[in-house]
């Protein structure tokens, strides 16, 4: 803006202290209202709305110009701030006690007809909003979320900088080291046939920075994973990434818990109670079924294996004899569930490994269940007592390997809580989950895989089990869970090259393969690597929960759809044959399945 039309105030910041002052505003026309000669314009910018009044008695030409204004026209206006007339105040609006009597008006740009109105409660498909994201981002609700995101990022930088962390950037074009999600690959023009990968995390580089002696590092960093998408996932996402040297688990948790407390205080004005509660992985999965438990309501799982391992019900007995468990969940008042409700619960359970779902309705007449005839009265009484079940309750059972049984009931627990309205709509509940298993066995690949990542250190007291009982080895890993969503995960890292080589061996990564994929790290570990550990928080997930958003797309300025596309810029898209030739790439035709 040139000359004297530059804004002197944001629209949403005009207040009673400005009464009598002449001000200049810039913004977009939200709406125009003609009232018997008077014209009212709601002018909007990122800070909010203010009402403009154009009175023909106070300026004919400016009043005539106001007649031409339409929604989303961009204007500059000069005027005097005054009280709204008595009875016209709007207490729901931040500027609702004042208005600006316009004296001069300049049209800076007009607007084509809109595909949808710029309002928070707009009833328009998300695909349309994403196509016109630049208009969608004008909506006050989205602007508030992204401004809050900025505040969280700045609070993070200030907090960590004050505690000796140095912000350093790590490469975006790096080496492909696939272990988990698929990499996004970038062809190298100068090295035909070779590819960079976009980083899934800065993990290796931040460990290298610890070896380099920087001691404390952080970065608010973009990461990339080529994976199937859900409401809480994007192909590119943002992490608050940090690493510390000469620390143990307690040091990392203490500093990072302080970061979360500071973020919520500065951004939302909330005082979080510390220390956050902790559960071991075994406790979390045993009681709640999942390693990211939402503990804000009951419905805890019960282990009935000891009581039912000799049961006449073959499903229970067989599970126990194969080293599995018999777990149950009691739903107060659940006897009211219809047969369709139970069928729906079974459909939810099956994708998580359940072969079916055993259920019992406890009625005044006794047990109503297909499995009732297979259990003795003694067993029935033991089950009721263990679950503290009473008439009107529903009991659900899962008998399988522990991981399957826990996961099935854990997923059902969340679904049932939603059906019964048990999930709080407000509040923030944090929990640390610790002592994860170091390894798990992948039946498809017939090898051990890392539960977190292969650079996580094992618990010192479990080191001797690496050779004798690898699945019993616990890791120095920790996740922070907020309202049942994992928002951060980290660990103490392996800082000895021989231990790292041993872990690779257990993962079935032969020496030659390890050297090819991680050789630079293995080499660096030999040169005086300090004990170190860190964590990465999902900034998008944190912001979605803080703002009550259903999807992380609402807290990202330019998100992708669930199919990984950008509807606004039409990415990904085809490229010229010349570009492909420069990269020595030939595009194969997709073979349609018969």
DSSP-assigned states of every residue in 370-423: TTGGGS-HHHHHHHHHHHT--TT-EEEEEEESHHHHHHHHHHHHHHHHHHTT-S
The arithmetic mean of pLDDT across residues 411-431, rounded, is 96
- Cα torsion angle, 255, 257, 262, 263, sign: positive
User: How many residues does the structure list for the chain?
Assistant: 594
Q: Quick count: other Cβ atoms within 10 Å of Cβ 405?
A: 27
Q: Which of 9, 2, 11, 56 is nearest to 29 (CA)?
A: 11
Q: Which of 536, 582, 585, 518 is nearest to 175 (CA)?
A: 518
Q: Which residues contact 146 (CB under 8 A, 6 or more apart)?
A: 137, 555, 557
List, for residues 123-159, the tens digit of each pLDDT value.
899 999 999 999 999 999 999 999 999 999 999 999 9
Which domains occur in the chain, in start order?
A: 3-109 (2.40.50.140), 124-277+476-495+530-594 (3.30.930.10), 297-419 (3.30.1360.30)
Banded pLDDT at 555 (limits 50, 70, 90): very high
Q: Which residues contact 552 (CB under 8 A, 6 or more apart)?
A: 231, 232, 233, 234, 237, 540, 541, 543, 544, 559
DSSP state of 131: H
Q: Quick count: other Cβ atoms within 10 Å of Cβ 449?
A: 15
Assign 201 to helix, strand or coil. Answer: coil
DSSP state of 456: B
Q: Which of 466, 443, 469, 468 is nearest to 454 (CA)?
A: 466
On whether the CB atoms of residues 98 and 82 are closer than 8 A, the answer is yes
Banded pLDDT at 190 (limits 50, 70, 90): very high
Q: Which of 369, 357, 347 is nearest to 399 (CA)?
A: 357
User: Hey, what are 315's tokens?
Assistant: 């499903």
**pLDDT greater than 80 at residue 179:** no
* Interatomic CA distance for residues 80 and 69, integer angstroms: 20
Instruction: Kindly state the percentage of the chain with pLDDT values over 90.
Output: 84
Q: What is the pLDDT of residue 514?
A: 86
SS3 for 335-359, per residue? Answer: HHCCHHHHHHHHHHHHHHCCCCCEE
User: Hey, what are 564's tokens?
Assistant: 């990984």
The arithmetic mean of pLDDT across residues 377-390, rounded, is 95
Banded pLDDT at 403 (limits 50, 70, 90): very high
* Interatomic CA distance for residues 69 and 110, integer angstroms: 8
Triad 106, 108, 113: Cα angle to 5°: 115
Q: How far out from the chain centre does Cα 45 lie?
A: 29
Which H or E run includes 114?
none
The residues with which 398 forms a beta bridge, in sequence order, are 327
Which H or E run includes 493?
none
Q: Name the residue with higher pLDDT: 449 or 395.
A: 395
Q: Quick count: other Cβ atoms within 10 Å of Cβ 40?
A: 16
On whether the CB atoms of residues 83 and 53 are closer than 8 A, the answer is no
Banded pLDDT at 429 (limits 50, 70, 90): very high
The arithmetic mean of pLDDT across residues 324-332, rounded, is 96
As a whole number, the mean pLDDT across the chain is 94
Q: Which residue has the tokens 């009991």?
A: 395
**pLDDT greater than 60 at residue 1:** no
Q: What is the pLDDT of residue 37?
A: 86
* Interatomic CA distance for residues 482 and 587, integer angstroms: 44
The arithmetic mean of pLDDT across residues 314-338, rounded, is 95
* Interatomic CA distance for residues 389 and 395, integer angstroms: 8
Q: What is the pLDDT of residue 32?
A: 95
pTM recorded for the entire structure: 0.92
* Interatomic CA distance for residues 53 and 79, integer angstroms: 9
Q: Quick count: other Cβ atoms within 10 Å of Cβ 68?
A: 11
**pLDDT greater than 60 at residue 2:** no
**pLDDT greater than 90 at residue 444:** no
User: Hey, what are 363's tokens?
Assistant: 């009625």
The arithmetic mean of pLDDT across residues 18-41, rounded, is 94
The arithmetic mean of pLDDT across residues 310-332, rounded, is 94
**pLDDT greater than 70 at residue 63:** yes
* Interatomic CA distance for residues 412 and 349, integer angstroms: 7
List, for residues 274-308, the tens digit of each pLDDT value.
999 999 999 999 999 999 999 999 999 999 999 99
């Amino acid at each position: 803006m040139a000359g004297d039309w530059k804004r002197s105030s944001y629209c949403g910041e005009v207040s009673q202290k400005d009464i009598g002052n002449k001000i200049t505003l810039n913004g977009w026309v939200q709406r125009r209202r003609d009232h018997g000669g008077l014209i009212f314009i709601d002018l909007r910018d990122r800070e909010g709305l203010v009402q403009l009044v154009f009175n023909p008695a106070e300026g004919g030409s400016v009043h005539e110009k106001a007649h031409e204004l339409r929604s989303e026209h961009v204007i500059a206006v000069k005027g005097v701030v005054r009280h709204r007339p008595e009875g016209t105040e709007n207490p729901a609006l931040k500027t609702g006690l004042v208005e600006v009597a316009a004296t001069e008006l300049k049209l800076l740009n007009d607007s084509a007809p809109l595909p949808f109105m710029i309002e928070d409660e707009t009833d328009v498909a998300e695909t349309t909003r994403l196509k016109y994201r630049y208009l969608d981002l004008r909506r006050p609700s989205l602007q508030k979320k992204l401004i809050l995101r900025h505040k969280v990022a700045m609070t993070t930088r200030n907090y960590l900088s004050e505690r000796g962390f140095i912000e350093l950037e790590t490469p975006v074009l790096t080496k492909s080291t696939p272990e988990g999600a698929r990499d996004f690959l970038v062809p190298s023009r100068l090295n035909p046939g070779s590819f960079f990968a976009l980083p899934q995390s800065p993990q290796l580089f931040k460990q290298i920075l610890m070896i380099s002696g920087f001691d404390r590092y952080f970065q608010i960093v973009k990461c990339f994973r080529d994976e199937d998408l859900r409401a809480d996932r994007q192909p590119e996402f943002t992490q608050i990434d940090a690493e510390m040297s000469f620390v143990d688990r307690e040091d990392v948790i203490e500093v990072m818990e302080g970061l979360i407390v500071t973020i919520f205080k500065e951004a939302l004005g909330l005082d979080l109670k510390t220390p956050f509660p902790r559960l071991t992985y075994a406790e979390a999965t045993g009681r709640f079924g999942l390693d990211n438990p939402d503990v804000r309501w009951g419905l805890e799982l019960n282990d009935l294996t000891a009581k039912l391992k000799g049961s006449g019900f073959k499903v229970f007995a067989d599970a126990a004899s194969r080293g599995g468990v018999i777990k149950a969940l009691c739903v107060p008042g659940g006897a009211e569930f219809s047969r369709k409700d139970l069928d729906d619960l079974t459909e939810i359970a099956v994708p998580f490994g359940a072969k079916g779902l055993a259920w019992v309705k406890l009625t005044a007449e006794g047990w109503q269940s297909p499995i009732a005839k297979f259990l003795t009265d003694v067993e029935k009484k033991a089950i009721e007592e263990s679950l503290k079940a009473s008439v009107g309750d529903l009991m659900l059972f899962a008998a399988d390997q522990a991981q399957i049984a826990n996961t099935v009931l854990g997923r059902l627990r969340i679904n049932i809580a939603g059906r019964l309205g048990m999930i709080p709509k407000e509040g923030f509940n944090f929990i640390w989950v610790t002592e994860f298993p170091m390894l798990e066995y992948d039946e498809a690949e017939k090898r051990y895989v890392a539960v977190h990542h292969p650079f996580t250190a094992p618990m010192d007291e479990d080191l001797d089990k690496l050779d004798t009982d690898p699945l019993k080895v616990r890791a120095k890993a920790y996740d922070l869970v907020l309202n049942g969503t994992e928002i951060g995960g980290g660990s103490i890292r392996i800082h000895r090259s021989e231990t790292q080589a041993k872990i690779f061996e257990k993962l079935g990564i032969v020496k030659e393969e390890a050297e090819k994929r991680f050789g630079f790290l293995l080499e660096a570990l030999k040169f005086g690597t300090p004990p170190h550990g860190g964590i990465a928080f999902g900034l998008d997930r944190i912001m979605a929960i803080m703002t009550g958003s259903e999807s992380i797309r609402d807290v990202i300025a330019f998100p992708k759809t669930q199919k990984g596309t950008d509807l606004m810029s039409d990415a990904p898209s085809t490229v010229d044959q010349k570009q492909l030739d420069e990269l020595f790439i030939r595009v194969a035709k997709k073979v349609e399945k018969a």
